[in-house]
Amino acid sequence: MFFWDPTYILIFPAMLFALWAQSRVQTVFNTYSRVRARSGVSGAEVARRILDANGLDSVRIEQIPGRLQDHYDPRAKVLRLSAEVYNGDSLAALGVAAHEAGHAIQHACGYAPLAVRTSLVPVVTFGSNLAFPLFMIGFIFAGTGLEWLMTLGIWLFVGAVAFSVVTLPVEYDASSRALAFLGRGGYMTQEELRHAGQVLNAAGLTYVAATAVAVTQLLRLLILRGSRRD
């Protein structure tokens, strides 16, 4: 069966890693959401100050619903922070807010990996919806002249893999900028920076895990295509 073939063993370790990474970020974020920063400023305030200090007073900051949904929208030039981060003055809130401000600064200075990731968004949006259905059709109807659909599905999925890979330097660079800003601005002590770094590193691991899942899934598709052609 296509859905229950032995090649699934390839992605099980990556999927387990992804589950652990998600659990880890929740645990670390919860822990340091209960530890207030000595500076007493909120996530929204620290993000605003970082943006203004870098000449980005035109970038708006909005509060959004949800948890751990914080992100920077480069098209609208808007920093969107969850209520817990926007209003919070915890080590976790300041770390996440500064991280997202780091993405806005990346965008403003033309950070190449971010530009590549942004350009891949339409490809990923289109390709991720079609890659597996096309591959499945080609796999099921191999021998009828539709084998080329497997190759097309793989190429579409390659775009998703590329997006995951290029996301890694984008996220880790934003975290590095965040910790530097928080330290230079006096928003955190060295001990607080260490704890905020744990939050950002835990978040970074979720992207590493996503990349591992994508790469192993691509390897699985390649193996399946090879076996179907034999």
Write out the catalytic residue numbers: 100
The closest alpha carbon to 156, from 137, 136, 128, 133, belongs to 128
3-state secondary structure (DSSP) of residue 147? coil
Between CA 117 and CA 146 the distance in angstroms is: 32
CB 111 within 8 A of CB 170: yes
Between CA 78 and CA 122 the distance in angstroms is: 19
Q: Which residues contact 111 (CB under 8 A, 6 or more apart)?
A: 170, 173
Phi/psi of residue 80, nearest 5 degrees: -110, 120
